Amino acid sequence: MLVLVGLALFLVPAEPLTAFPPKFQVGKLNQDVVVRCDTSEQHIYWTLNGDEEPMAELVPEGQKLTIVGLDLPATGNYSCWAGPGHLLDTTYVVLSSTREEELNVSCQAESYNGSFHCSWPGPPSAIFRARLIRSDGSVGPWVPVASEQDQFSTSLADTLFCPFGEELRPLQLHLEGLSDTSYLNLSRHFFLRDIVRPEPPQQLILQQRGEQLHLAWAPPASWPLPKSYFALLYHLQYELHNGSQVEQFVEGAEETPVPVGAGWVRISCRDPYTPPAWSPWSAWMGLDAPQ
């Protein structure tokens, strides 16, 4: 699992954004910012968040507007007009974040098919978008990021990823975040093999073989084939009738005899050749073990 460390990024906005503006401009605190109106009109006037008299020092000159010493009151939506009701252009102006390293991102892949899922906490007032820069350097499209309260998440896929090949170059996750006052631009590099965590094994079945009871199972449905190439290490945990527990590890097989006295069993798995990211446990399964 990829984990990147803590977030205190965006300031609380008055009116949260719902999507990235078509045009936005990022400036640094207390530095001048020049906003340009995309028009051939010579006589224009400007508003900030609909206010013709904003609490900011603005210097208009033709089709450009200089914001002197950008600060929080000067962030927002700058619009240029040719007259009442005649909107020419808009630009959203925000402050760059100085705390990009504090974004806390966790990424996880269920297999080696090139797909992965990332999530991170953040303020409900913020919006994010994400894109994948593939191992060959090609850049994927921006993908809107879903949010629920203070949690953000996105799923991305490298369609060119080869599960049979050796990863020579890392993937790159590129995130942009925006509130009504602040902007974040952030990239993280990782190998897919370092974030793989399988789903739990499935289809637990008991089979009677003479005097011995055997337990069989199947790999996760999302795990790639063939099994001979994509092996799994299985971790079984039995609960005995006396309340004690027995653990067992099985590699390269999908069945095993059941220990005498076992009443319940659950199972987990992982790739034996990557960092030890075990899958979640399967649900406990009741056994009628021989006495």
> What is the CB neighbour count within 10 angstroms for residue 51?
11
Whole-angstrom Cα distance, residue 242 to residue 261?
8
Q: Which residues pair with 152 in a beta bridge?
A: 120, 147
Predicted confidence at residue 237, as pLDDT, reads 96
Q: Is the Cβ–Cβ distance between 269 and 234 less than 8 Å?
A: yes
Predicted confidence at residue 195, as pLDDT, reads 94
Residues of the chain with CATH 2.60.40.10: 1-196, 202-286
What residues contact 223, with CB distance under 8 A and at least 6 apart? Answer: 110, 111, 198, 199, 230, 232
| Domain 202-286, CATH class in plain words | mainly beta
136: phi then psi, degrees, rounded to nearest 5: -90, 5
Q: Is the Cβ–Cβ distance between 69 and 31 less than 8 Å?
A: yes
What is the 3 state secondary structure string of 108-142? EECCCCCEEEEEEECCCCCEEEEEEECCCCCECCC
Distances (CA, A) of 25 to 43, 95, 178: 23, 9, 11
Predicted confidence at residue 16, as pLDDT, reads 62
Predicted confidence at residue 291, as pLDDT, reads 42
pTM for this model (two decimals): 0.77
Candidates 211, 200, 173; CA nearest to 266 is 200
User: Where do we find the tokens 């936005």?
Assistant: 24
The token pair at 30 is 């207390």
Candidates 250, 246, 245, 255; CA nearest to 269 is 250
According to CATH, the topology of domain 1-196 is: Immunoglobulin-like (2.60.40)
pLDDT tens track for 25-34: 999 999 999 9
Predicted confidence at residue 179, as pLDDT, reads 84
Distances (CA, A) of 136 to 108, 158, 162, 167: 21, 10, 12, 11
Predicted confidence at residue 7, as pLDDT, reads 32
Q: Is the Cβ–Cβ distance between 215 and 236 less than 8 Å?
A: yes
Q: Is the Cβ–Cβ distance between 128 and 152 less than 8 Å?
A: yes
Q: What is the DSSP letter of 66?
A: E
Q: Which residues of the chain have pLDDT under 50?
A: 1-14, 289-291
Predicted confidence at residue 3, as pLDDT, reads 37
